[in-house]
Structure 1
């Protein structure tokens, strides 16, 4: 079934994970923080990652443009028993949609417009 915006899901949902684990980690990043989504004028949606307390990836839900492309990386990560840190530390070319999976949710002290580079934080120039 095809929808607009696209919807893609792999692994456990947040509610399924909470039933199986005492505690879970949940990261949710709005598509509006993705330069690719903004440049395509498709900022609606989000990427949600569910993990065990030890960082083991349990599931991912993606709503938005190119979700069916982006979910492939999460599917492979689940098959390989990857952790959230494995996803975060893997370099991804900027032009690829799966890059959104490795973008950590912003902390309250960070601006939602703080850019991230493939190998770590972007370098600020005065």
Structure 2
């Protein structure tokens, strides 16, 4: 297996996340660790080239912010994907807990269908970013 490197994604848009989720997150950088990078590449291989290319925009300018009650330690940022990906939206899951450097770690990233977006919005688990 190829070695995967950590990726600095950029600053978490804390104002957007806090407004959508009612949290009080502090500013910090978002990172994809080498282990998470390998996870995305292997477990979401079909999405990998598209999601890695779009991850910077998804984090910087999400259309939606949400949280799944089954994964209470994480939240997700969602944005439409450029044409060519398997699904029309990209999702980046980020941990609430800050790492030892004061940043936030990506837990996973993959594409999701419009149906998934609609279901999560109906369940009030996905909110428009403002």
The TM-score with structure 1 as length reference comes to 0.29
Structure with greater Cα Rg? 1
The TM-score with structure 2 as length reference comes to 0.28
The structure whose residues are more often strand, as a share, is 2
